[in-house]
Amino acid sequence: MVSFGEIALKVIVGFIALFLLTKILGRTQISQITPFDFISSLVLGELVGSAVFDKEVKVIQVLFALALWGILVLLIEYTTQKVKSTRGFFEGKPVMVIHEGKIIRENLRKHKLDINQLQQLLRGKGVFSIREVEFALLEMDGSVSVLNKFNYGQPERQDLQLTPKSVNLSVTLVNDGEIVYDNLRELGFDEKWLMNQLKSQGYTQTKDIFYAEWEKDEGMFIQGFNA
C-alpha cells in the first residue's frame, strides 16, 4: 500500500511539474484547444493520476514521463512553426460551412456536424437565423466564426436606411513570407499581379512580409516583419 507521505510527495511534484510544463508549452494549450491539445491534457493527467497510487512508480519516473511528453509536444510545436506545410496536419485548418449565404453540406458531413449543431454554434455568436450569415468558418477548436450579411450587422443598417452593399471576405495571400498560391489562383490573380500590389506599398519581395490579405473594395492590407 502506498503511504500517505509518498502520495503527498507525488501529488506535489506532479502539481509543480504540470504547472511548469503548462507555462513552457504556452497559453495556446488552454485558450485554443485543438483535438491534439485535448488528448495531450488527458495523457498528462493520466500520467500523474496513475503514478500517485502506484507504489511501483517512483517520483523520478513521474518526472521523466512528464518531461518526455513535454519534449514531444514542444517538438511538434517547433515543427509547425518552422515547417508551414505541417500545420494543416497537426493543427487542422478552418473549414467554410456557409459561403455567400449557402450552407456547404459536404463540409458539414465531412466534419460530423449536423444543422442543429451548426445552429447552436451560430447562436453562441448571437446569430439566431442562418439567413443572416454571409460566411461562417468552423475553426480548429470547434468554434465558429461568423461574418453577417450587410443588412444584419450591428446596428441594423436597414434601420438606418443605408444603401446596401455586398459583403466581402478577406483572403490571405502572404503568410510568414510565403505566397499562398491556392488563394491567389482562387481569386483569379497571378504572382505578377501580387508583386505589383506589394510594390505599390513599398515591398519588393514577399520574404519581408509577415502577413498580407486582399479584400474586394478595400484592397491590400500588409504587415511586414519589422512592423
Tens digits of residue pLDDT in 40-50: 777 777 777 77
Helix axes 59-82, 35-52, angle to 10 degrees: 170
Q: What is the pTM assigned to this prediction? A: 0.57
CA distance 1 to 114: 50
The mean-pLDDT minimum among 84-93, 107-116, 170-179, 193-202 falls in: 84-93
127 — pLDDT class (breaks 50, 70, 90): confident
Nearest by Cα to 28 from 111, 169, 139, 138: 139
Average pLDDT over residues 32-38: 63
The answer to whether 227 touches 210, Cβ cutoff 8 Å, is yes
Greatest Cα pair distance, the chain, in angstroms, is 77
29 — pLDDT class (breaks 50, 70, 90): very low
Contacts of 223 (CB under 8 A, 6+ apart): 209, 210, 211, 212
Percent of the chain at pLDDT > 90 equals 15
Average pLDDT over residues 57-63: 78
Higher confidence at residue 156 or residue 4? Answer: 4
Higher confidence at residue 17 or residue 218? Answer: 218
Examine the pLDDT at 17 and tell me if it is beyond 90: no
Average pLDDT over residues 186-191: 90
Average pLDDT over residues 76-103: 81
The answer to whether 120 touches 136, Cβ cutoff 8 Å, is no
List, in order of start, the domains of the chain with CATH numbers: 4-88 (no CATH), 93-160 (3.30.240.20), 171-224 (3.30.240.20)
CA distance 192 to 76: 35
CA distance 210 to 41: 31
pLDDT at position 126 is 87
Per-chain mean pLDDT for the chain:
80
